[in-house]
Amino acid sequence: MVPTRPLSEVVSEFCGHALLLRMVRIHVVIGGVGRLVPLLVLLSALSSPLAAEDPSLIISRFQEYLRINTAQPKPNYRQAADFILAQASSIPLESKSFEFVDGKPVVILKWPGTNPRLPSVMLYSHTDVVPVEQSKWDHPAFGAHVDQEGRIFARGSQDMKCVGMQHLEAVRQLKRSGFEPVRTVYIVFSPDEEIGGHDGAGKLAESEVLREMNVGVVLDEGLASPNEKYRAFYGERSPWWLVIKATGAPGHGAKLYDNAAPENLFKSIETIWRFRTSQFDMVKAGLKAEGEVISVNMAFLKAGTPSPTGFVMNLQPSEAEAGFDVRVPPIADPVSLERRIAEEWAPISRNMTFELKQKIAVHDHHGKPIITATDSSNPWWALLEEGVRKANGLIGKPEIFPASTDCRYFRLLGLPAIGFSPMANTPILLHDHNEHLDKAEYLKGIKVFESIIKTYTSFVGDSSKESFRDEL
């Protein structure tokens, strides 16, 4: 069909680009009007640097990632890596996958800067998620269902597949807009954070691969904020996983006697709980933030003599133990905490022993807290705030992350690492049932990252403060 209007007018409506109009005229002369339809398709692709992308496509890519079941203890890392690599080639970005440990890929995407000598910006996320109790969810945890209010339900929607995809989408959009970063940007996807990150971030941090990336700053995960201000984290508490064990004489269930194992364990639990209350009270009173106190929570309680029908009921057991997840802030004194454990929580005088199954260092090898500076000695903090502000976002005061993240591996190298997941006005649902994130909030987060990436990669000031090599 020959169009009833001049071809140039149709095309002008379609993409509004003078250069392309000229190309149309040339092509029409060569190929005739019969080629109009494929030509328009071609034009729409060529004109994409100017067009904003359909949000439903952005959301469907997020859903696709959420639908990959990467729950511990059997994450499908292969499928996740394939998905990320396909995304990279569609942007396009250079990509490489490293298996420091077999079957646990670290995928690294690269957007080269115009000045590759400047330290790079690393946008970091983990690909694994925690397991789910599906029966307690209203929607399939790996279905990425969007409800009527626009909430996307999936394990990982907050922790932290949202952030990984936002990094990608922000770069995709910036590239489309024609933006050219001065600094190189790396987008890194790592395995195993939820089980300690030893085979992911741990291996990357000690590798030559990281040295060659010449990283100047790391952005990793933060937490959702129930109010309008985003949260940013400069440090985190160290997990100490404590098991205390009591022993005592066994005896008849009808006999009252001192120093039975359960009694000894209970005395410790009472002491530990008084300590827990004292810490929690400071948070409740608003004197300290959650990340600034030592938290202690019971993980398990174990005693009793098993029988085919349950437990032997008329026998007082000779052993009893309890496990605690203790979280130690970087400002706490780890030596006095360990003394407290030995002297008050598991004293030998009460036939008690203890073991720290996990004891992540609170201080670095100089005996200093493992934290990222938030003052003028670290330009990246103020630049983060600037990037958020330029995207019309609000950001709260620097915080200590209450749990643990892969940031610690990079901070230990002396690199500035900031925990930041742009989710405002969002309930904190990481590791919870019905984890979800609002569609609009997700899309807003992409804009925030675009602004941060622009601000970070355009910053060319004082690189003398950036090098971490002399720390090694």
CB of 343 vs Zn ion, minimal distance in Å: 33
Backbone angles phi, psi at 251, to 5 degrees: -170, 170
From the list Zn ion, ligand FME, none, pick the one residue 196 interacts with, judged by a Cβ distance below 5 to 8 Å according to partner type.
ligand FME
Interface contacts to ligand FME, rule CB under 6 A: 193-194, 196, 239, 358, 403-404
Give dist(CA 235, CA 401) in Å, integer.
6
For residue 471, say whether it is annotated as part of any ligand binding site: no
Which of the listed partners (ligand FME, Zn ion, none) does 404 bind, with a CB threshold of 5 to 8 Å by partner kind? Answer: ligand FME
**Active-site annotation, residues:** 128, 193
Q: How far is the CB of 272 from ligand FME (least distance, A)?
A: 19
- Count Cβ atoms within 10 A of the Cβ of residue 100 and give its class: 0-12 exposed, 13-18 middle, 19 or more buried: middle
Which parts of this chain interact with Zn ion (CB under 5 A)?
159-160, 221
> Of 151 and 155, which CB lies nearer to Zn ion in the complex structure?
155
160 binds, among ligand FME, Zn ion, none (CB under 5 to 8 A by kind): Zn ion
Q: 145 a known binding residue?
A: no
Tokens of 83: 């998905």
Report which of 100, 98, 163, 152 is spatially closest to residue 129, judged by C-alpha positions.
163
Query: Measured from the CB atom, is 128 or 466 closer to Zn ion?
Result: 128
Looking at the Cβ atoms of 323 and 347, the one nearer to ligand FME is: 323
Position 310, amino acid: G
Q: How many Cβ atoms sit within 10 Å of the Cβ of residue 280?
A: 16
Least gap, CB of 455 to Zn ion (angstroms): 24
Answer whether 223's CB lies under 8 Å from 396's CB: no
State in angstroms the smallest separation of the CB of 170 from ligand FME. 24
Which residue, 95 or 238, has its beta carbon nearer to ligand FME? 238
| 139 in a labelled binding site | no
- With contact defined as beta carbons under 8 Å apart, do 351 and 420 qualify? no
Q: Which is nearer to ligand FME, 113 or 419 (CB)?
A: 419
CA distances from 234 to 21, 314, 331, 459 (A): 51, 53, 12, 20
Output the residue with the shortest Cβ distance to Zn ion: 159
Q: Which does 406 bind (CB under 5 to 8 A by kind): ligand FME, Zn ion, none?
A: none
Question: Quick one: CA torsion of 53, 55, 56, 58, rounded to 10 degrees?
Answer: 80
Confirm or deny that 192 is annotated as ligand binding.
no
Is 433 known as a binding-site position? no
Q: Which does 28 bind (CB under 5 to 8 A by kind): Zn ion, ligand FME, none?
A: none
Min dist. Cβ of residue 293 to ligand FME (A): 16
Reduced DSSP (H G I as helix, E B as strand, rest coil) percent helix, strand, coil of the chain, to 5: 40, 20, 40
Alpha helices in 187-231 (DSSP H): 203-205, 208-213
Annotated binding site for Zn(2+): 126, 159, 194, 221, 431
Going by the annotation, the residues of the binding site are 126, 159, 194, 221, 431
